[in-house]
Amino acid sequence: MKLRSIYWLSILQLTLTFAIAGESPAPARDGSHDFDFLIGNWKAHVRRLPDRLVGSNNWIEYNGISNHKKLLDSNANFEEFEVDNPEKHLHIKAQTLRLYNPDTRQWSIYLLDLDKGVLSVPPVVGEFNGNRGEFYDQEQYKGRAILVRYAWLNISPKSARMEQAFSANGGKTWETNWICELSR
């Protein structure tokens, strides 16, 4: 309850500051097309750290595809993802659903496990600021609460990079454990 009061007090203070200065805050940015760059078919190169939050540097590499489609001409999209490491006989198949909320102006990203019929909750939630997107949630990992961050960066018509990182200390430090480089 105390955090909610501080939040509303901060909003009120910000509103009064702009009113006294004769200014209005910048209109909220519409990010509904932030993931449009992803629509289409991509080659995917993944580096994955299977042993997480233990100081490991043993990365495994995969190659495959990442295909993205808009859903019903909306601001939602769906990804089909499949990569392999033939030498180690490893295979990753995944699906991702991204939904834009026009009220909060943020994206929610859900991982789907179609084989098990499971939708991951909570989603990672966030937005783009310029050419970088950051999305966060809190999850349980091996019995402890961690923060999860997805970062989209190096975005161009022909390439993009997504990194997943975990923090076990409230965001003071982050361990990147998944790097996916997309190219056309």
What's the CA gap between 60 and 170, in Å, rounded? 27
Query: What's the CA dihedral at 134, 136, 142, 143 to 10 degrees?
Result: 160
pLDDT tens digit at each of 184 positions of the chain: 443 433 333 443 444 344 445 565 666 789 999 999 999 999 999 999 999 999 999 999 999 999 999 999 889 999 999 999 999 999 999 999 999 999 999 999 999 988 888 898 999 999 999 899 999 999 999 999 999 999 999 999 999 999 999 999 999 999 999 999 999 9
CA gap 70, 184 in Å, rounded: 18
Distance (Å, rounded) from C-alpha 124 to C-alpha 110? 7
CB distance 182 to 42 below 8 Å: yes
Tokens linked to 163: 């990194």
CATH for the stretch 2-183: 2.40.128.20
A 10 A CB-CB count for 81 gives: 19
For residue 143, the SS3 value is coil
- The pTM is what? 0.83
CA distances from 180 to 47, 62, 142 (A): 7, 9, 23
